[in-house]
Chains A and B, each alone.
Chain A
Amino acid sequence: MRTLHIIGASLWRGITAAYPLILLAIVWEAVARLGYVRPVFLPPLSAVFAQFWPLATGGDLVQPLLVSLYRAAAGLALAIVLGVAIGFLMARMRVVRWLLDPLIAFSFPSPKIAFLPIFILWFGIDHLAKIALVAFTCVFPFIVAAYAGATTVPTHQLWAARAMGTSNLGLLRRVVLPASLPSLMSGVRVGVPYALVTAFTAEMVAGGGGLGGEMVLAQRYFETPTVFVYLLIMLATGYVIDLGVLALRRRILRWHEG
């Protein structure tokens, strides 16, 4: 009885907190149902939900989502490996820092999407061009995060580890990498949404499947409910993945006070 009461109370709290969203949904449905806008511009919300099932069973939902996620994940993985390597090298070696710092400072604010035509020229219009663009977009936050993380390691810790006979590689693995983890996780928090957005955007521009590509196709055929379904799927994907990143961060950084 008591638990039921608590569940009821928290449910009520959830509903009251989300009331603007519920209101929005009701207004949307009403405006579309009452015929104030043509359904090709704004189909009723119920029509959008009704579109989920045919898309899902027709393989037009999970398949494109997996393609987009694969591109985002592959690009992100590439960005992490390259970014961490470059960031650590910059922290360790003056020459590398001198060489790369001005180039990175110059490229950081540039809209990376502008490089898509170049990547299409180099890698074609399939997976590789999109993965390259995702990696190129996400590598910069990771370079900065890895560099910032590696430079926070107190010099006496490096000396102590060395004095106890830790090798160069061991130093990286046992001291620098753990010390940089908080900073790197902040990089992940920034990089993951960038990776998703970039993958979707690249697909919209260059086609070649994925949620972005399918969405632009649906728009060209004026299948507005389908456009909304993809929009909602993108929104949900971003939301779920962000929650996942936060959970991962809590797990990895349990030992860290921040």
Chain B
Amino acid sequence: MSAPAQTTPAQTLALPIWALHSLSRLTPFVLFLAAWQGLAKSGLIDPTFLPSVSAVGHALIDLGASPSFYTDLAVTLGRSLGGLALGAAIGIPLGAGMAVSRKIDGFFGPLVKATYSLPKTALIPLLLLWLGIGSATNIVAVMFSTLLPFVVYTYHGIHGVPQLLTWSARAMGTPQRRLLWKILLPASLHAILTGLRLALGFSFVIAIAAEMIAANTGIGKLMFIYGESGAYDYMFAAVAAVVALAYVADRLTVVISNRLLRWDDVENRLG
């Protein structure tokens, strides 16, 4: 056996401390679920209004075994990530263009300022008129809502790049085009990734809201179908699935971002 030849005391201690830490982080969840179960079973609350944890758990297991649930989940995920990708594909170049060119900034700056305070969900009824009920409306709505975080964070990220970096690169003869790719974009990567994390959150909200307003498929629609048919344990299970999915997506974004930012200063990491 090729076990590690030496283990320092710190290493032998590391595992228990790590395990203790996650145990300590998990305990509040257990307490929360126990309180919920106790409240639901106590008879103080009508079980229609608050299905017990065990009932929701059963519903969740049942949903986990049905392929149509995964289809709905995948449809919603596809819409939100599709819109997010479009938002990034348009927003990052636009933000970068605005940061490096006064002309582009002069044209799009006022438009960005004017639409910044618009609740992007307000576009959904309009898009329903234009594109009808379906994924197109949903994806375009997500695209619009994720566009601004990408534009704003890329713009400010590039503006925040220290002059020293651009001056040094210029002094060493870097042409304008390479300056953007080699200096400005990498140096503002942490800002763009912060924008991405924000946009990811928006993308779920808009995709689900659009499905709740008008759709035939997706998890947002499914929740309302369960709610309207009185299958409240299934409704709670669907909500739980969405919350868990959003959490995993957010954590994955943070982990991947920090991997991409390995070379950068520690204070630029995402939390």
Interface residues of chain A, those whose CB is within 8 Å of chain B, are 17-21, 24, 40-41, 98-103, 106-107, 109-118, 120-122, 193, 196-197, 200-201, 204-205, 212, 215-216, 218-219, 222, 224, 227-228, 230-231, 234-235, 237-239, 241-242
Contact = CB atoms under 8 A, between A and B. Distances in A.
Nearest to A18: B110
A112 B205 contact: yes
Contacts of B235: 117-118, 121
Contacts of B239: 114-115, 117-118
A121 B232 contact: yes
A11 B223 CA distance: 52
B122 A100 contact: no
B115 interface: yes
B125 A103 contact: no
Nearest to A200: B119
A202 to B, nearest CB: 9
B129 A17 contact: no
B247 A110 contact: yes
Given A120-B227, A205-B209, A219 B125 contact: yes
Contacts of A216: 125, 213
Given A109-B246, A118-B236, A231 B28 contact: no
Contacts of A114: 208, 219-220, 223, 239, 242-243
B107 interface: yes
14 contacts: A20-B106, A20-B110, A21-B110, A21-B111, A111-B204, A114-B219, A114-B243, A117-B223, A201-B209, A204-B121, A204-B124, A219-B129, A231-B126, A234-B119
Nearest to B201: A109
Contacts of A19: 110
A113 B212 contact: yes
A120 B223 CA distance: 12
A66 B110 CA distance: 28
B49 A117 contact: no
A219 to B, nearest CB: 4
B102 interface: no
A227 B129 contact: yes
B32 interface: yes
